[in-house]
Chain A
């Protein structure tokens, strides 16, 4: 029971990083970014390549492992951010320029998602692979009967740091102020001298960075393959809706709550494939009973 609880919390933390990408884009553009799952997948691939080519020896010292992890996070995050900006540039901006209907954005995003997915599948093969582990497997802490590994601790630390940075960025920096301005009213914001295109691109970049890092962790805990992004992204969207879409703290809390809601029942039903089924049930229930989510929808000053 406790171990499922712990599993839920730490998986939920990873989901909340992905959920942040959905939340930011939804807050600014009022759109579900269907291509976000591919940002995650590409981040995982970037992390795989970085670790695969830098971990050539057999034994590594602890500081070197630490550096490897930092490097992998940076590489995955930057590749994710670049891909997110590229998606925005080619799948969204041409439509935004001519003020196209919302339906076309969704379809173009689906197209981008399937293009990237199968392009990566074609170029790097379609077999799943395991990522080399920079984090030691020999460290475990037991709290209330639940085992917490070094991997879990690093997920927790990285997620909290990244969320803190993002929150600070959005609520206290200049770019954050322009993001909030565009989220409120992009036309007025542009009249006030905010460069809407740059702001939207930077929103995608922030979400993409988080998505890429989340991809790295998913790749390390499971396997890397061209179609790995789909289910986590779907669950992360659920987390974003659960926490209140457009709400940064909501993404974090929604992710953790969703993780717990998904994994604790597995303790009783012993069927791991029910995990996405429960996640989907949560999505439908949230839409039925509290469509604004736990914390409400806002990309606000304090959020």
Chain B
């Protein structure tokens, strides 16, 4: 009797067993991954201390639960297991809908809960950074301390207003009427926040007061700093409320009309408010972070967000894969070092760093074209390995060409940004802490780049990229030259990386080859993939979030985590993302459709092309 014919209990089969075993071993693997560091002299140490210790229980239980859950899901999908009515997913959804229609307050409760979690995170994010690792219990304790209450109440206030208003009316606000639409809500929120700041704050006991929990910000009795803070919190809350609102109404409409309609077009005024709000948050929020995050937000988060925006053009828009992206970053940085006289070889003239930016753009773009032209002529997947090689070669060269780059010892101080006009002298400060001037400069570069890329993607060029991604042959027959557009995307990505290199080197000063190691390119790829390739919002969110997590875990982790381990988790994340959610966290709608189409055998979702077809005799 073979294994397939054997009668299994409960209608289980071999695949269920496989699923459960995979989940169990996944839990074990997670336990080993989060365990202590090992060394070669006692190779069993790390395994022994992660598997044969109490550390393992949580992960094994997690694995088993995950296994049970996936088996249950599979069986109920196949119709083998008749779940009790109350447990069936469809029924649960149905019930929730009935409940929320009857009691709108439930929706409010759920939203409030989400806002609460978000507020806790914000509170923890901006709080003092404890420079040693905390256990999970301590972490929880820190979450639930007094200073978080303020954040919770503020984050929830606008949501309350918005949700109560819409739910009471049980309809969308009338279109066109300016005071019943979003503008009105924004005004209510702003006035509410302002009044709250004006009246409530002095009445609160000291430990609940804003001044108690703003550490880095100028908080000593500074009235204006108070109310700007409330403004941005209120604005963020409003935007979140708006988003949630649009989504629920959209779902409701889809359910009643039984066919899928695109999400309601966001009106121009709303979009303007959203952009302005985001910009406002980006400008104001860092002032209230503590010194550690103020220094991190430039070098770690900001630069990488810029890099991810550039790589998104290559991966997301053009559908190519660039694994040597950091090489262009290095080119930009060393161009700055060269023209500001920090390298052993001297330039013909010393330039202000502002003038180095266009040169770096041209250098990186030229390198991109030179590398892209021979490679992209063939097939797209060769680009991945050629860029990988290029990244490694640039790293080898800057480490070893000591007479040109000073090698591993690091260059002299590269020039920072400064303005020297008659009457105006200003130099951006390279101070490590408590100085945001470089952050605002970066923002000044990033915002135009964002607008440029957005409009590029909506232009003829962007449409050509989409056409090449989806069907290269058809695109060619319509007169689009695939090589031209692929090289263009690759060069645009490269030049963005060059700009990031200049910005980074201006703040860093001395450059070391280790700052340009190849794994940084992989890191940027991860940022783009995690956020959602092709979606600018997704890439921004993903890049900021992952960078924050990596910094956060160094100090707050309740697992055995070191900075060098991050690529282990990222590698696993990449595999899981490709298997379960290739479109990323905040996907681009068009990309999702492309993935679905390619999986159904229609068109394609990347510009890697098909292999050379031919006789393989």
Chain A contact residues, CB within 8 Å of chain B: 27, 30-32, 34, 49, 90-91, 94-95, 98-108, 110-119, 121-127, 129, 180, 183-184, 230-231, 234, 237-238, 241, 246, 271, 273, 276-277, 279-280, 283-284, 287-288, 291-292, 297-301
Contacts and interface: CB of A to CB of B under 8 A. Distances in A.
Interface residues of B, number: 68
A238 B385 CA distance: 9
Interface in B559-617: 564-565, 567-568, 570-575, 577-579, 582, 594-595, 598-601, 604-606, 608, 610-612, 614, 616-617
A288 B578 contact: no
B375 A287 contact: yes
A277 B397 contact: yes
Contacts of A49: 43
B616 A114 contact: no
A102 B606 contact: yes
A103 B384 CA distance: 10
Contacts, number: 185
B46 A118 contact: no
B565 A103 contact: no
Interface stretch (B3-11, B30-38, B57-65, B216-224): B30-38
A284 B374 contact: yes
B389 A280 contact: yes
A271 to B, nearest CB: 7
Contacts of A117: 567, 571
B575 A277 contact: no
Contacts of A292: 612
Given A280-B389, A287-B378, A91 B608 contact: no
A238 B390 CA distance: 13
B358 to A, nearest CB: 27
A118 B381 contact: no
Contacts of B40: 124-125, 127, 129
Which of A115, A184, A238 counts the most B-chain CB atoms under 10 A from its CB? A115
B578 A108 contact: yes
11 contacts: A94-B579, A99-B601, A100-B599, A101-B606, A107-B525, A111-B571, A114-B570, A122-B37, A273-B396, A280-B393, A300-B617
Contacts of B567: 114-115, 117-118
Given A184-B616, A273-B396, A99 B598 contact: yes
B578 A234 contact: no
A230 B38 contact: no
Interface of B: 32-33, 37-41, 43, 46-47, 315, 319, 321, 323, 371, 374-375, 378, 380-382, 384-386, 388-390, 392-393, 396-397, 399-400, 518-519, 522, 525, 529, 564-565, 567-568, 570-575, 577-579, 582, 594-595, 598-601, 604-606, 608, 610-612, 614, 616-617
Nearest to B400: A273
A129 B371 CA distance: 36
Contact of B390 (A30, A129, A280): A280
Contacts of A122: 33, 37-38, 46, 564-565, 568
A110 B573 contact: no
Nearest to B565: A122
A74 B304 CA distance: 44
Contacts of B390: 280
B284 to A, nearest CB: 36
A106 B375 contact: no
Contact of B568 (A101, A118, A234, A284): A118
Which of B46, B386, B389, B611 counts the most A-chain CB atoms under 10 A from its CB? B389
A299 B616 contact: yes
A137 B46 CA distance: 35
Contacts of A115: 567-568, 571-572, 574-575
B578 A111 contact: yes
A116 B386 CA distance: 22
Nearest to B616: A184
A123 B38 contact: yes
A105 B384 CA distance: 12
Contacts of B518: 230
A104 B599 CA distance: 11
Contacts of A125: 37-41
Contacts of A276: 389, 392-393, 396
Contacts of A27: 616
Contacts of B38: 122-125
Contacts of B606: 101-103
Contacts of B374: 284, 287-288
Given A101-B606, A118-B565, A118-B568, A123 B32 contact: yes
A43 to B, nearest CB: 16
Contacts of B522: 110, 114
B616 A98 contact: no
A111 B573 CA distance: 7
Given A103-B315, A122-B38, A276-B396, 11 more contacts: A30-B611, A101-B608, A103-B605, A111-B570, A111-B574, A112-B575, A116-B571, A271-B400, A284-B371, A287-B374, A297-B614
Contacts of B577: 107, 111
A111 B575 contact: yes
A108 B564 contact: no
Given A94-B579, A122-B565, A234-B389, A107 B570 contact: no
Contacts of A126: 564
A283 B375 CA distance: 10
A83 B544 CA distance: 34
Nearest to A287: B374
Contacts of A105: 578
A300 B616 CA distance: 6
A90 B393 CA distance: 31
A250 to B, nearest CB: 13
B225 to A, nearest CB: 43
A110 B574 contact: yes
B578 A124 contact: no
Contacts of B388: 34, 234
A280 B578 CA distance: 29
A241 B378 CA distance: 12
Contacts of A300: 616-617
A114 B571 contact: yes
Nearest to A230: B392
Given A32-B385, A114-B570, A277-B396, A108 B598 contact: no
Contact of A106 (B47, B381, B392, B605): B381
